[in-house]
Amino acid sequence: MDQINPEIPHESKSLFHPQRALFRFTILIFVSALSFGSYFAYDIIGAIAPTLVEELGAGRGTLGTFYTMYHVAAILFVLIGGFLIDRLGTRKASLAFSLLVLVGAVVVWQARSIPVVYLGRFIFGAGSEPLIVAQSAILARWFKGKELALSFGIALTVSRLGTLFAFNTGELISSQFGSFRYALFAAVLCCVISILANIVYIFMDRRGERLLRLKDSETEEKIVFKVIRKFKPTFWLVTLLCMTFYSAIFPFTALSTDFFVGKWGIARYAESSGGFLHQIFNNFLHMFSTAGGVTGIIIFASMIFAPFAGRMVDKVGRRASLMILGSLIMIPSHALMGLTHINPVFPMIALGAAFVLVPAAMWPSIPLIVSKERVGTAFGLMTAIQNIGLALFPLLNGLLRDRTQTYTASLLMFAGLGVCGLIFALRLKRTDARGDGILEKP
């Protein structure tokens, strides 16, 4: 960040000057909120899956396709999103992506046929994933060389609050107002909140740019295809592990609320006699006893423990070993839910532990195994390949449920993905040990 403009020295004494920490952390609040709405809107489909099946008359394969359409768009637009951000600048790009997110959410809310929902989810995905890339570029612009890691952690926590709210309020909203469309409307409102936050960010960023002579940071997730062939085997093993790991988490949670209601008869929301806001609070208070709340355990665990896991990885290293451990935890967690009637809270807590350990070890591994000038391409390519799995497995999950009338085959599929992840993690540790062993070092 450049020095303060010497032409306005009186501004340097202002408590809210852009160079001050107070200004940076105020802008962080609004930048973090950019993706709150998109996270809520993404997961509201899974949160109200049982009601959608009943009211919309949709098969589980159709619900899985709602996620597939999102990730097909994400694959296409993640490839060009970085270039658009560099061309338009973070302000214009973030606002354009936020508007796409809102348009997609509105189309889904107003849709009266399945194909129109597909269209809305595609538009939504076209804006949501590039918006996350833009958010990363904005954080780098304001916090590089300062509190960058902290800013990313706070932004991710605020974003995942959107997911937590979706799973803990979706069915309650549908029941309270008599239709699932009110839950979809709540998603629209959350996207509006994110746009309002975007507008505030734009005004603050303009002021900071004027006073500090800021330059737009280039996005770090832009793919440069000519360097891909130079990546080492360790990069491809981490990328394959990333795809299999996330494919066993998010496609599972896409229909897990329906799974918990159907197999265990877990309540869709916690009964309460108070007003609507009291009922929402009561739902969060009893999240371990509602289907959406149990689904949200994975996200809740990551929000609470991810920062501590990151610090642990920095101190002890053992990245490949932690990826092995996370994959090992995942296999019995899915298998137990698929094959037994054990209380799903316990396997979900275990999955939450895996979801804390593996990402904390996996994403920071990339800068260690890829040269500095190729890190952006590595992250962009890894995200694109991750979305391939996230596009395929929600559809397979739904189709297997429709074909077998149970989720047993789906859970065994997810356990199988855990086995694949374990194989990739074991090979990664072996390959790393044959080299410089950087992944196991602090």
Residue with tokens 């992250």: 379
Q: Are residues 152 and 82 in the same domain?
A: yes
Q: Which of 168, 188, 213 is the C-terminal boundary of a domain?
A: 213
pLDDT tens-place string over residues 154-186:
888 889 999 999 999 999 999 999 999 999 999
Q: What is the pLDDT of residue 1?
A: 37
Decide which of 150, 179, 213 is a domain's last residue: 213
Rounded Cα distance between 306 and 309, Å, is 5
397 and 353 in a common domain: yes
Of the chain, the percentage scoring pLDDT greater than 90 comes to: 59
**Claim to verify: residue 174 and residue 249 sit in the same structural domain:** no
Q: Output the CA–CA distances (angstroms, integers) from residue 237 to 85, 300, 366, in the order listed.
A: 29, 28, 11
pTM of the predicted model as reported, rounded to 2 decimal places:
0.89
Same domain, 301 and 415: yes
Shared domain for 35 and 62, answered yes or no, is yes
Assigned domain for 423 exists: yes
Does 169 map to a domain? yes
Mean per-residue pLDDT of the chain: 89
Same domain, 192 and 228: no
What is the extent of the structural domain holding 359? 223-442
Residue 314 near residue 321, CB atoms below 8 Å: no
Ranges of the chain whose pLDDT falls below 50: 1-12
Taking only the tens place, the pLDDT of each residue in 43-53 is 999 999 999 99
Q: Is residue 171 part of a domain?
A: yes
- pLDDT, one tens digit per residue, over 406-441 is 999 999 999 999 999 999 999 999 999 998 888 898
Position 9 scores a pLDDT of 46
Residues 179 and 231 in one domain: no
Domain membership flag for residue 184: yes
**384, 435: one domain:** yes
Within-domain flag for 6: no
**Could you tell me if 176 and 35 lie in one domain?**
yes
pLDDT reported for residue 7: 43
Residues 206 and 244 in one domain: no
Task: Output the pLDDT for position 220.
Answer: 61
8 A C-beta contact, residue 85 and residue 137: yes
User: Which residues, 6 or more positions from 426, have their beta carbon under 8 angstroms from its beta carbon?
Assistant: 324
Instruction: Please identify, among 165, 183, 213, the residue that sits at the C-terminal boundary of a domain.
Output: 213
Does any domain span residue 218? no
Residue 5 counted as domain residue: no
Question: Domain of 100: which CATH number?
Answer: 1.20.1250.20
How many domains does the chain contain in total?
2
241 with 197, same domain: the answer is no
155 and 277 housed in the same domain: no
Asked whether residue 400 is assigned to any structural domain, the reply reads yes
